[in-house]
Amino acid sequence: MSARLDPRLAASTAADADLVAMLTELFEDYRTERPAPREVVDLDPDLWQQLDQLGLTRLTAPESSGGSGASWFDGAALLGLAAAAGAPAPLLEHGFLAAWLLDEAGLPNDGALRTVCRPDPAGTALNVTYGRDASGVVTLFEDGEQWRVADVPAGRATIRQGRNLAGEPCDTVEFDLDDLSAGALVTSEVGEQFHLRGALARSAQVCGGLERIVQVVVAHVREREQFGRPIGRFQAVQRLVADIAAEASLARAATDTAVARAAASDWADPGLLFAVGVAKSCTGHAASVVVRNAHQALGAIGTTLEHELHVLTKPVLARRSEFGSIHEWDETLTRLATSAGHERLWSLITTGRAGPHH
Amino acid sequence: MTLTLMPPVVSEGPALTELRLQVRAFLDEQIADGRFVSHVDTWLTRWDRDFTRELGRRGWLGMTIPPEYGGHGRTFLERFVVTEELLVVGAPVAAQWIADRQIGPSLLRYGTQEQKQAYLPGIARGEVVFGIGMSEPDSGSDLASVRTRGERVEGGWRVTGTKVWTSGAHEADAFFALARTAPLDPAHRHEGLSQFIVDLHAPGIEIRPIISMGGDHHFNEVHLGGVFIPDDRVLGEVGEGWRQVTSELGYERSGPERFLSTYQLLAEAASAMGEGRLPQDVGLGRQVARVAALHQLSFAVSTALEAHADADTAAAVVKVLGTSTEGDIADYVDMLTATGWVEDEDLYRLLHAAIIQRPGFTLRGGTNEILRGVIARGLGLR
């Protein structure tokens, strides 16, 4: 279809088809062969090594710094498909944020596993996913008026282990303030973009998770029989499923739109704050409906440890609240909408920018 | 991903953005000149034949009709941005809506050369106004149960029956009526239906108003008392009515009128909240986000339709989400307001109308219950 698009009218936002086919197969294999679900999720070193060999751990980082130089279309596809497979890998932390920060700061990157965080003024960072597994932690530190990026070796930080709702490694990391202040200076735009990049990458993961949940639900209601027929034949169940398919579609449209804006402008589009907000809001609210209806459709079977469903629903809920809660993003959108006002709201909705007053 | 319910989103190209700005500049002028007052749900409730003719003069009606039939040979994407701009300012577009949205495309696809020449130039000029005659007193969601019947007579058909919910029939020139032209076969209920092009001024037509709960007259009951329809006013093939009617549903269900009916209220609420006339509440951002995502989703479906892809399920998704959202906006703003109308304030004028119109949003053009069935079928559940 995209081949027939006239670029003056509409431009495709699709990821590279060969890459998507490769990723689909890779994560299908992982999903079918992974160990049985447990209450905790740990880094899978074999998977990480495989991803690294394929050039996927730093997919969107520039080739000049050891990345694969792919677009964010491709990057979002990677995050979504990995999340759909419940793959325990810090792709976002290592490949999308740490690698980008090091590059922005002009610091070398040897490719060893890193995670990323924004320590508070006292030098403490909460909720550092995969902190314990990283050889180094890339920090974005607001040092007075200035922003600094440092590559702190894991051995120089104190790591207190924790787990998030999804059972993933989610640690508290305490840094020596001198290490943070010794970081390279970056512009304040880097600080703002960090939040946007993280939020959009989490949305891409949540979308992938939601879509896999819809598949699991569809397969279940077509197979599971009660009263002598598949439960998917009942209108009450069809309603549950139709609504989650619709919500997941809306989340996908919102997320892909923001990804397209990011990719087309290399993150320079001033409309990205709005676009990322729309993605976060739509995916976050979609997650409420999808998780609720999916568990309802799967019945008690879906609440057990051995079932795949919680491997998907728990990360969806954990991730939707990262890089800004849903409330925080709805608040941002409300602020943008009220300052646009009646006359300029439509411009905000279609371009992400309110434009000048009439 | 592997969930292929929806076509991928696409970015709007520069030619479309330019067209948007042209339409917007024209509409700004019209509003400044007091040519119309913005309102909600204007594609059903606001008729202004002069305004419609003006759009025709500017080439913004019948955009997808080829020039040899008086149209402009443009794409559905160009039509999409024009209709969006018209809807967001709450312009009076009801007179053109049915003809521009579905009568034109149906005539192009199924009409004879003579029918196309007879109607399409008038539609593109905004001079010919059409309605739709599908539902009946006993046939709503179950459309195949229509009882209006066409009997073969010399030179044509004699059509007898009653159609309901025909919006604007009292102002329209003609409508498409779906009728049974062969006895109902319970095993093949969708066979034996045909579409007729009916002149609403013909002898035997009686149009009675159906007054809506707000006291307005938009809908009608159209009684066909043995109306003679000549053979040259059969649309498409006799017996193919069901396929003809359902083949155009993608356009009817996925367009921007399915999520923008209350846009004027949302925009006014944004101003009111900014000025402290409504309390600060993050629900506004949530609704704005949904409208923004629906704008993308609806555009994506238009792009798929332009490429002749099958988009029935995708259109149903847009309509379920969009009509729910536009109704939720009315309820959301209502919950932010205290009792007591301030009648001369735009916010209350728009809110009042939105609350009254809301129940219709999720009914017209296929109820959301029927559409969820369409989605379920698309997912392989039935």
A302-348: per-residue pLDDT in tens?
A: 999 999 999 999 999 999 999 999 999 999 999 999 999 999 999 99
Distance from CA of B50 to the nearest CA of A (A): 25
State how far the Cα of A302 lies from the Cα of A314, in Å rounded to an integer. Answer: 12
Q: Do B381 and A336 touch (CB under 8 A)?
A: no
Tokens of A141: 């530190």
* Rg of chain A taking only CA atoms, in angstroms: 21
Determine the distance in angstroms separating the CA of B215 from the nearest CA of chain A, rounded to an integer. 28
Report DSSP state, residue B275. Answer: T
Structure tokens of B325?
């959202």
What's the pLDDT at B340? Answer: 63
- Going residue by residue through chain B (382 aa), what tens digit of pLDDT does each one get? 445 789 999 999 999 999 999 999 999 999 999 999 999 999 999 999 999 999 999 999 999 999 999 999 999 999 999 999 999 999 999 999 999 999 999 999 999 999 999 999 999 999 999 999 999 999 999 999 999 999 999 999 999 999 999 999 999 999 999 999 999 999 999 999 999 999 999 999 999 999 999 999 999 999 999 999 999 999 999 999 999 999 878 888 999 999 999 999 999 999 999 999 999 999 999 999 999 999 999 999 999 988 888 899 999 999 999 999 999 999 999 999 986 666 668 999 999 999 999 999 999 999 999 999 999 999 999 8
The residue type at B343 = E
- Fold designation for B248-378: Butyryl-CoA Dehydrogenase, subunit A; domain 3 (1.20.140)
The count of residues in chain A is 358
For A32, what's the count of Cα atoms within 13 Å in the CB-facing half-sphere? Answer: 5
Determine contact, residues B182/B164, Cβ cutoff 8 Å: no
pLDDT tens digit sequence for A157-184: 999 999 999 999 999 999 999 999 999 9
> Which residue is it, tokens 């409330």?
A327
Compute the half-sphere exposure of residue A77: CA atoms within 13 Å on the CB side of its CA: 28
What number of C-beta contacts closer than 8 Å exist between A and B?
222
Tokens 């309820």 sit at which residue? B331
Residue A11 has pLDDT above 90, yes or no: no
Which of A238, A250, A343 comes nearest B373 by C-beta? A238
Task: Nearest chain B residue to A358 by CA: give it.
Answer: B28
Cβ distance B13 to A253 less than 8 Å, yes or no, reads: no
Question: Cβ of B13 and A10 within 8 Å?
Answer: yes
Q: Do B376 and A232 touch (CB under 8 A)?
A: yes
User: Could you tell me if A12 lies within 8 Å of chain B, comparing CB atoms?
Assistant: yes
From the CA of B380, how many Å to the nearest CA of chain A? 8
Q: Cβ of B13 and A7 within 8 Å?
A: yes
Instruction: Judge whether residue A1 has pLDDT over 70.
Output: no
Topology adopted by domain B132-240: Butyryl-CoA Dehydrogenase, subunit A; domain 2 (2.40.110)
pLDDT reading at A194 higher than 60: yes
Phi, psi of B226 (to 5 degrees): 65, 45
Distance CA B280, CA B276 (A): 8
Mean pLDDT of the A223-243 span: 98
User: Residue written as tokens 């920060």?
Assistant: A101
Q: Strand, coil or helix: what is B159? A: strand
CB neighbours of B70 closer than 8 A, spacing ≥ 6? Answer: B62, B120, B121, B122, B123, B124, B125
Cβ of residue A243 closer than 8 Å to a chain B Cβ: yes
In this predicted structure, the answer to whether residue A2 has a pLDDT above a threshold of 50 is: no
Q: How far apart are CA B40 and CA B329, in angstroms?
A: 12
Q: Report residue A60's pLDDT band, with 50, 70 and 90 as the boundaries.
A: very high
Of B271, B288, B300, the CB nearest to A349: B288
Closest-CA distance, B85 to chain A, in angstroms, reads 9
The 3-class secondary structure across chain A, one letter per residue, is CHHHCCCCCEEECCCCHHHHHHHHHHHHHHHHHCCCCCCCCCCCHHHHHHHHHCCCCCCCCCHHHCCCCCCHHHHHHHHHHHHHCCCCCCHHHHHHHHHHHHHHHCCCCCCCCEEEECCCCCCEEEEEECHHHCCEEEEEEEECCEEEEEEEEHHHCEEECCECCCCCEEEEEECCHHHHHCCEEECHHHHHHHHHHHHHHHHHHHHHHHHHHHHHHHHHHHHCEECCEEHHHCHHHHHHHHHHHHHHHHHHHHHHHHHHHHHHHCCCCCCHHHHHHHHHHHHHHHHHHHHHHHHHHHHHHHHCCCCCHHHHHHHHHHHHCCCCCHHHHHHHHHHHHHHHHHHHHHHHHHHCCCCCCC
Q: Are strands B193-199 and B217-230 parallel, antiparallel or unpaired?
A: unpaired
What part of A 100-119 touches B (C-beta under 8 Å)? none
Contact of A17 with chain B, judged by CB distance below 8 Å, is answered with no
Task: Give the list of residues 6+ apart from residue A78 with CB closer than 8 angstroms, or none.
Answer: A19, A23, A56, A59, A91
Contacts of A260 in chain B (CB under 8 A): 9, 11
Residue B293's nearest CA partner among A50, A207, A357 is: A207
The answer to whether B375 contacts A242, with C-beta atoms less than 8 Å apart, is yes
Joined together, the tokens standing for residue B213 give 């709960």
Q: In the predicted model, is pLDDT for residue A4 greater than 70?
A: no
Among the partner residues B3, B8, B372, nearest to A14 by beta-carbon distance: B8
Nearest CB to A341 within list B78, B263, B270: B270
Q: What would the mean pLDDT of A28-41 be, rounded to a whole number?
A: 93
Alpha helices in B174-281 (DSSP H): 241-247, 249-254, 263-274
Instruction: Report d(CA B159, CA B150) in Å as an integer.
Output: 4
Q: What's B14-128's CATH class? A: mainly alpha
Q: Is the dihedral of CA A346, A350, A354, A355 positive or negative?
A: negative
**A208 has a chain B CB within 8 A of its CB:** yes
What is the average per-residue pLDDT within A82-103? 97
Spell out the domains of chain A, with CATH numbers in brackets. Answer: 2-186 (1.10.540.10), 188-351 (1.20.140.10)
CA distance A324 to B70: 53
Axis crossing angle, helix A188-223 with helix A272-298, rounded to the nearest 10 = 20
Closest-CA residue of B relative to A211 is B3
Interface probe with A: pick from B21, B80, B87, B282, most Cβ of A within 10 Å: B282
Report the gap between the CA of B93 and the closest CA in chain A (Å): 19
- Verify whether the Cβ–Cβ distance B286 to A218 is below 8 Å: no
Tell whether A31 lies on the interface with B, counting CB pairs under 8 A: no
Cβ-defined contact of A282 to B75 (cutoff 8 Å):
no
DSSP B241: H
Q: What is the pLDDT of residues A249-279, one digit of tens each?
A: 999 999 999 999 999 999 999 999 999 999 9
Residues A250, B321: C-beta atoms closer than 8 Å: yes
| Structural domain boundaries in chain B | 14-128, 132-240, 248-378
Measure Cα distances from A261 to A7, A266, B184 in Å: 15, 8, 53
Q: Is A34 on the interface with B (CB under 8 A)?
A: no
Cα–Cα distance measured from residue B124 to residue B361, given in angstroms and rounded to the nearest whole number: 27
In 3D space, the residue among B377, B150, B165, B129 whose CA is nearest the CA of residue B241 turns out to be: B150
